[in-house]
Amino acid sequence: QVQLVESGGGLVQAGGSLRLSCAVSGVSFSLCATGWFRQAPGKERETVASISRFGGNSYYADSVKGRFTISRDNAKNTVYLQMNSLKPEDTAVYYCATTDYVAAGYTGPSPSVYKYWGQGTQVTVSS
């Protein structure tokens, strides 16, 4: 059974930082492209960032470029999202997702390609 468990969300003031973690089990993590997505109330789920199997390629939404950094540790089966200079518009539930048997350089920027999803963690940025 594939499980993804996110942690690290919370309440932070604008300009602050948070680091999200997602521990993945039940799948060969090094075969997986992995990403972070978010969904704010009344809005569609959107891609925040995604990363290829060995971390060589990454994708960022324009809204987070220069502020967020995605990384992964295949030895720990974990993907991270470092979020700096947070803004109130970053407030959302953040989800981790992964999908296996992809090419080594594939970043999977679209939510529709991901098979396995976590339950999400709330990030709230106050002004």
CB within 8 Å of 9: residues ≥ 6 apart: 18, 20, 94, 121, 122, 123
Q: Cα separations (Å) of 51 from 9, 10, 40, 45, 57?
A: 20, 23, 22, 18, 6
d(CA 30, CA 32): 5
Q: Render pLDDT for 25-79 as a digit per residue (tens, 0 to 9).
A: 999 999 999 999 999 999 999 999 999 999 999 999 999 999 999 999 999 999 9
> Which pLDDT score is estimated for 105?
87
- The mean per-residue pLDDT over the stretch 104-120 comes to 92
Burial class (CB in 10 A: 0-12, 13-18, 19+), 1: exposed
d(CA 55, CA 51): 6
> Which pLDDT score is estimated for 103?
86
Q: What is the side-by-side strand order in the sheet with 18-25?
A: 3-7, 18-25, 78-83, 68-73
d(CA 97, CA 35): 5
> Which pLDDT score is estimated for 96?
98
Q: What is the DSSP letter of 26?
A: S
Tell how strand 78-83 and strand 18-25 pair up.
Answer: antiparallel
d(CA 24, CA 26): 7
Averaged pLDDT of the chain: 96
